[in-house]
A and B are shown apart, each in its own frame.
Chain A
Amino acid sequence: MPSDHASGFAPWEDADATPLISFDGVTKRFGAFTAIDNIDLKIYPREFFALLGPSGCGKTTLMRMLGGFEDVTEGTITIDGQNMAGIPANKRAVNMMFQSYALFPHLSVADNIAFGLKRSDMPKSEIQGRVDEMLRLVQLQKFAKRKPHQISGGQRQRVALARALAKAPKLLLLDEPLGALDKKLRQETQFELMDIQEKTGTTFVIVTHDQEEAMTVASRIAVMDNGLLKQVDTPDRVYETPNSVYVADFIGDVNIITGRAAEVGEKTQLIWAEGATPITGMTGSRVAQGEPASFVIRPEKVSINKTEPEAANKVQGKVIDIAYLGNMSTYHVALPDGTIVKSQTANNRRIARRDITWEDQVWLSWTDTAGLVLRD
């Protein structure tokens, strides 16, 4: 399958590519609770891999197993061809950036960065040079002598990153690295992270519950739920072709219309309401004729008009709510059977010129390739 990833970097599509990390049938139990349930996963060198899911889905446990902070109950984890069973955290070529940053409060910024180097086989004479290099990478040369409590939150985050990268690990683990930053700083830092990842060529595995963050930074995303991998794919495919209603619902905003699949082919028709014209959409995974299924479509792919348009799918309804977000508006439209469908449009005209308002009868329409029919 061809990739539409901009840089053409897609080792996961190459059957001959050697993965850096592979999970084979990995299970982790805490007493009777199964945190990770029989996971198989391959992560390739230079990837920026995101583990995404709600809290308690097992993403942090999966990462901590890579770091050597949790052992594996069943199955094996291999990093760079080496079975990691029984290898403690301090013997792995893996470094971690902690959610709390875990900067050593009694050491200066430079000493924090040098901490791992002093415990490696790097000659003493080279350590200072490497520390300076890391300080340059995160642009903190001026703060080398400060203590962690003497710098701002964003700077602390960069010190934590520099410290974790100083030993040039094969793999860097980032546990909610931007969680403590405010929104603006977080967005800037996302690009900085991507930049640094590209410069150093390190494989990054990031844990996050913020799907926008995962979409922005990652080459691939693994969506997790209850210790299972629901889907592992590129951000665009996770968004455009989710393999389950769970993933569709978890990533971004989505309209879900439930019904029964009919005429399964390249496209599927969904019978959703008595007497209504069936909805046509792309056929998703595991859809079977006559079985219950759901049609999922993103709000921005639904057009809203006052007059009946020419389109493959169209339904009529009444505007019950309008969410004005400034750059765009979301219209909540109630269909005759009570289903609510959201339509999102860019506000490229001033609000005063908007011709659709509350209680209006409108037509919603979309093409036959805009949505997806998925098995429930």
Chain B
Amino acid sequence: MRRMTSFNVVSLTVGFAFLYIPMLILVIYSFNASKLVTVWGGFSTKWYGELLQNEAFLDAAWVTIKVGLISSTIATILGTMAAFVLVRSGRFFGRTLFSGMIYAPLVMPEVITGLSLLLLFISIGLPRGVMTIVLAHATFSMCYVSVVVSSRMASFDRSLEEAAYDLGCTGWDAFKSVTLPIIAPAVISGWLLAFTLSLDDLVIASFTAGPSSTTLPIKIFSSVRLGVSPEINALSTIIIAIVTVGVITASITSKRAIVKQQREEQMATP
């Protein structure tokens, strides 16, 4: 292995420090016994216990998960359909316009998306609550899904579908039993992306949430405005732990799958 130059060592250290020191501080202070966030009062896990007693946080967490699951599922279905049409239907009148419009929400400021959705919900008289957050999240995350899925669709061998028709499939059957299983990894990563975006979202949810439906980001943000409590640190630490475990599991699984595939391919060559 090549030796690292001192410049590389420094930039690596500084870079990672920049990324992770804030989170590290947060994790350390979540075990702080003192009620004051900035004063270390010894090690304790009591804030985790209190967090589990805090109904408001648990409710918000539940709303967030519910919104995430439903909105990402809707976004995945709609986004996959949009990707399918854009990749498959060849040239039709207005195709460029449509594909531009699919990608536009990606670069649209969230404030504008949120405001326009709020105005829409008010004008059609839809009471704000979980339902409106779900609709809003599905709307903006659908674009991300369609970007992910359409890049996979573009490299999809059309003759696989033709083979399915040739063997007696109808259009829907061919999609269900050939196309979907093959593009499934892209659809799943699209779903995960949509789910993450929904969990993460503060701005659009703030516009579209009602009084009875507070998501976790809104809850955290509003309580921080009244002063950072150690409970928030504990909650954030739990979220960091979940994300870390998720990312590590995903990378191990995909690495194993690649190794397995390589081994099998070697076995195949006679």
Contact = CB atoms under 8 A, between A and B. Distances in A.
A and B interact physically: yes
B167 A100 contact: no
A324 interface: no
B163 A90 contact: no
Contacts of B157: 100, 102
B151 interface: no
Interface residues of A, number: 30
B164 to A, nearest CB: 8
A34 interface: no
Contacts of A164: 166
Nearest to B263: A150
Interface residues on B, range: 20 to 34
A89 B174 CA distance: 12
Contact of A69 (B162, B181, B264): B162
Contacts of A152: 268-270
Contact of B168 (A67, A99, A119, A151): A119
A151 B268 contact: yes
Nearest to A148: B268
B173 to A, nearest CB: 7
B165 A88 contact: yes
Contacts, number: 72
B265 interface: yes
Interface of B: 157, 159-160, 162-170, 173, 177-178, 181-182, 261, 264-265, 267-270
Given A96-B162, A150-B268, 19 more contacts: A68-B166, A89-B165, A89-B166, A90-B168, A96-B166, A100-B159, A102-B162, A104-B181, A115-B177, A116-B166, A116-B167, A119-B167, A146-B268, A147-B264, A149-B264, A152-B269, A152-B270, A163-B163, A163-B167
27 contacts: A67-B166, A68-B165, A89-B162, A89-B165, A89-B166, A90-B165, A90-B167, A90-B170, A95-B166, A95-B167, A96-B163, A98-B162, A99-B159, A100-B157, A102-B159, A102-B160, A104-B163, A104-B181, A115-B164, A115-B167, A116-B167, A119-B167, A119-B168, A119-B173, A150-B267, A151-B268, A164-B166
